[in-house]
Chains A and B, each alone.
Chain A
Amino acid sequence: MFGFLLRRLAVLIPTFIGVSIIAFSFIRLLPGDPVALLSGERVMSPERHAQISAQLGMDRPMVVQYFDYLGNVLTGDFGTSIVSKKPVLDQFLTLFPATVELSFCAIIIAVALGIPAGIIAAVKRGSIFDQGLMGIALVGYSMPIFWWGLLLIILFSGILQWFPVTGRISLMFYFPQVTGFMLIDSLISGQKGAFASALSHLALPSIVLSTIPLAVIARQTRSAMLEVLSEDYVRTARAKGLSPFRVIGIHALRNAMIPVVTTVGLQVGVMLAGAILTETIFSWPGIGKWILDSVFRRDYAVIQGGLLLIAAIIMTVNLIVDLLYGLVNPRIRH
């Protein structure tokens, strides 16, 4: 197992360097000069432009800038935002808990609903359940997130008034941020109703963010389950007279879960991407919204630093999934 871990880690190094090159160069390939954008319609004099470019180190050759950047990253310095002038890492750490909290709730919803839906669809293959559930999954998968989010806000917040429109907690509550996770902080604060308020604020964004992963997990579970259900050992189990619950729930499900676990891991990456839209529409103060704003402002430091940090997290999650996978199926370790 240790050798397996080392091999996986060795693969991560070139991946990380690759990601850093992409994050660094892609944003610079986009047209648009961040220094000129600082002054908007107000035209900056060429001397002033040169002066600020030099101050930001943008007048040097790209390769020099890249190696400087890589060197700084290795010492934990992800640069300073061109717009807010704050260190990128500090901002990331402030905003990241909000995104984690949202993604965590979303993945719980996706797994809790997606896997049972997939199992039911597989077991009742071809029935109205199967077609209905898979139809809904397809719609969920194709739904434009922005539109879907606004639709839920208009219905549940605007018309029915069941949930608040945006934010992480009601403005009535004010307490220091200890962990950055609103659910935990609201409990620590001990203020009455704070936890419920935080939970209700999480509901709509989590539902929106979970939609696509839920659909993917449901479809993946269904196809994995169908494959396993047609295996000989399942037939044998049935022939032995085991109850359908034991056959499906224990014998079949365990094997069907292997591709599903991988899918769930991959969905974490998808989720961080989906978080950009969900966070924007729900004014959720997370990293997705932060990076999107930075793209519009061509804030190179934030975009490359943010992308790199997100990539590092996704790589770590995938590593964990690989290790879990190795635990579930020993053959993979070799």
Chain B
Amino acid sequence: MKRALIAALALAALPMLPTVAAAKTFVYCSEGSPEGFDPGLYTAGTTFDASGHPIYSRLLEFKPGTTQPEAGLAESWEISEDGTVYTFKLRKGVKFQTTEFFTPTREFNADDVIFSIGRMVDEKNAWNKYITGGTWEYAEGMGFPKLIKSIDKVDDLTVKFTLNRPEAPFLANIAMPFASILSKEYADSLEKAGTKEQLNQQPVGTGPFTFVAYQQDAIIRYKKNADYWGTAPKIDDLVFAITTDAAVRYQKLKAGECHLMPYPNAADVQAMKADENLQVLEQEGLNIAYLAYNTTQAPFDKPEVRIALNKAINKAAIVDAVFQGMATPATNPIPPTMWSYNNDVKDDTYDLDAAKKMLADAGVKDLSMKVWAMPVSRPYMLNARRAAEIIQDDFAKIGVKVEIVSYEWAEYLSRSKAKDRDGAAILGWTGDNGDPDNFLDTLLGCDAVGGNNRAQWCNQEFDALVKKAKSTSDQEERSKLYEQAQVIFKKDAPWATLDHSLSVVPMRKGVTGFTQSPLGDFTFEAVDIAE
């Protein structure tokens, strides 16, 4: 019996080893299953990589490799002088995908835009609650329901957005995957058939790839969209092989079972670089990890105490221990790849003697404090406990006793925002749209105190600058305002800025045309593979 079984297994093993065979099939070992295929309903990058990017297009698209919005389904746009009316001229002749479940009879027009965005902002829209428990979390987070007053069709190829107030980041916001454009004609046909929820399972868009099939937690298949309005993809088929474990993804990449993988283990990166069959791309991620003091609690209400503590943190040690070098120490609250990054701001130097003296001058003696360490690994902070231990060690050297505390993730998120939180919390942020407002106002504005502003820091001067930048359309002018805001931030030091992690993308040799996105998206419309 035993022999028979071994023989059977050996036989089975012979004809396999399915190296990535078919000439133009590109296999991406993705890190998780998409939650669904209607990107408006979700917030996870994994879902956007599988739905928003391959299947759909948006009015504006981010220029590959940048955070700069450029023409997408809208060929051009005009902004009224007061910054509240955005008029988009739509591209002519764009076709929706033809699939096994839907054949479009008309081309893309203004109705599709009104349908796609309208359902997110209008509670009375018939598609607002088409899925039990479905919510428009991203649109909500970006303030769309309160921001957008109306969306009007001027003619078939012109659509007008009227806002309740000027909002400069609006263009970047509608380039985000949640604002993807769906087919109204398809939605109408589903409504007629009484199968509205199919919109989230069998997607139809105008993007570079057409959805073919999804086997839950296993595989997503797409084929090239021959009618794509942009440059046609070079590959014929795109496959997402869902592989949740990073070590296993690496094995699959090595074995040639996939062409490209996201999120490698930091510890594997050196070996990947040494492997002659692989190539590794690296880029600073659009993120920040920080230690937020509670600036309303003594003695952390004094900037000099916060700066003294910042001087005692050995960021280089954190980058080495937690990221094996796959990160850079952070100076400003925004990453260096973002426009308006202020290069003139200098980081507090690691200087224990100076730190000790500053504390003594501020009259702080025998300080003991809590440092909160997140229980989960995030791209901006792989191991918060390890980072907290390094901080604990550093602070001990200047006579500050640290107790490390942690909670379950949801608890952590909710307790860390409390105004009377005891201690400094490690947390971070990954940018949504590449706009500095998405870091500076979202995380440090006065409105965010008790919420995203974990330092509970409300500096009127800083707040006035970022609020002014938000309502200014001219990017150069905005950039200047944000640069000033960064100077104030550093002087007042509500956070110890810890690191910006590198985003590392390993792929097979022979893969060309893949551009790393600073937003962390994985898009494959331009990739090619050597025969």
Q: Count of chain A residues with Cβ under 8 Å from any Cβ of B?
A: 66
Decide yes or no whether B16 CB sits under 8 A from chain A: yes
- A194 CB to closest chain B CB (Å) equals 10
- B7-59: which residues lie under 8 A (CB-CB) from chain A? 8-9, 11-18, 20-22, 25, 27, 32-33, 35-36, 41, 43
- B122-139: which residues lie under 8 A (CB-CB) from chain A? 131-135, 137
CB–CB A112/B216 < 8 A: no
CB–CB A197/B132 < 8 A: no
CB–CB B9/A85 < 8 A: no
| Closest chain A residue to B452, Cβ basis | A43
**Bound state CA distance, A37 and B242, in angstroms?**
22
| Residues A55 and B248 in contact in the complex (CB < 8 Å), given A39-B141, A157-B255, A203-B12 | no
| Closest chain A residue to B448, Cβ basis | A43
| Residues A165 and B255 in contact in the complex (CB < 8 Å), given A32-B408, A56-B133, A177-B215 | yes
Decide yes or no whether B243 CB sits under 8 A from chain A: yes
Binary contact readout B404-418 vs A (1 if CB under 8 angstroms, 0 otherwise):
000111110110010
CB–CB B411/A32 < 8 A: yes
CB within 8 Å: A-B pair count: 176
Say which residue of B197, B248, B408, B427 sits within 8 Å of A166 (CB atoms).
Answer: B248
Most B C-beta atoms less than 10 A away, residue of A42, A55, A80, A293: A42
CB–CB A55/B135 < 8 A: yes
Say which residue of A39, A94, A161, A168 sits within 8 Å of B17 (CB atoms).
Answer: A161
Stretch at the interface among B217-225, B291-299, B354-362, B508-516: B217-225
CB–CB B22/A172 < 8 A: yes
Decide yes or no whether A6 CB sits under 8 A from chain B: no
Decide yes or no whether B99 CB sits under 8 A from chain A: no
Decide yes or no whether B329 CB sits under 8 A from chain A: no
**Bound state CA distance, A113 and B21, in angstroms?**
36
| Closest chain B residue to A174, Cβ basis | B221
Binary contact readout A75-86 vs B (1 if CB under 8 angstroms, 0 otherwise):
000001011111
Decide yes or no whether B2 CB sits under 8 A from chain A: yes
Binary contact readout B377-416 vs A (1 if CB under 8 angstroms, 0 otherwise):
0000000000000000000000000000001111101100
Decide yes or no whether A306 CB sits under 8 A from chain B: no
| Residues A298 and B141 in contact in the complex (CB < 8 Å), given A42-B43, A161-B255, A171-B241 | no
Does more than half of chain A's interface fall in helix, strand or loop, or is it mixed?
loop
Decide yes or no whether B482 CB sits under 8 A from chain A: no
Binary contact readout B52-84 vs A (1 if CB under 8 angstroms, 0 otherwise):
000000000000000000000000000000000
- A178-201: which residues lie under 8 A (CB-CB) from chain B? 193, 196-197, 199-201
CB–CB B410/A164 < 8 A: no
Decide yes or no whether A38 CB sits under 8 A from chain B: yes
| Residues A171 and B25 in contact in the complex (CB < 8 Å), given A158-B255, A289-B217 | yes
Chain A residues with CB under 8 Å of B353's CB are none
Chain B residues with CB under 8 Å of A52's CB are 135
| Residues A85 and B133 in contact in the complex (CB < 8 Å), given A91-B216, A164-B255 | yes
CB–CB B409/A32 < 8 A: yes
Chain B residues with CB under 8 Å of A86's CB are 36, 201
Decide yes or no whether B244 CB sits under 8 A from chain A: yes
- B405 CB to closest chain A CB (Å) equals 14
CB–CB B12/A196 < 8 A: yes
Say which residue of A31, A42, A150, A282 sits within 8 Å of B408 (CB atoms).
Answer: A31
Chain B residues with CB under 8 Å of A283's CB are 217-218, 241-245, 248
| Closest chain A residue to B454, Cβ basis | A43
Chain B residues with CB under 8 Å of A45's CB are 451
Decide yes or no whether B189 CB sits under 8 A from chain A: no
Binding site for B on A (CB under 8 A): 30-34, 36-43, 45, 48, 52, 55-56, 80, 82-86, 91, 94-95, 109, 112-113, 116, 150, 153-154, 157-158, 161-168, 170-172, 174, 177, 193, 196-197, 199-201, 203, 280-283, 285-286, 289-290, 293, 298
Q: Could you list 15 examples of A-B contacts with CB < 8 Å?
A: A31-B411, A37-B413, A41-B430, A42-B141, A56-B133, A116-B2, A150-B247, A161-B255, A162-B13, A166-B243, A166-B252, A196-B15, A197-B18, A203-B9, A280-B245
6 nearest A-B pairs in the assembled complex, by CB-CB distance = A170-B18, A285-B217, A32-B410, A285-B218, A199-B12, A43-B451
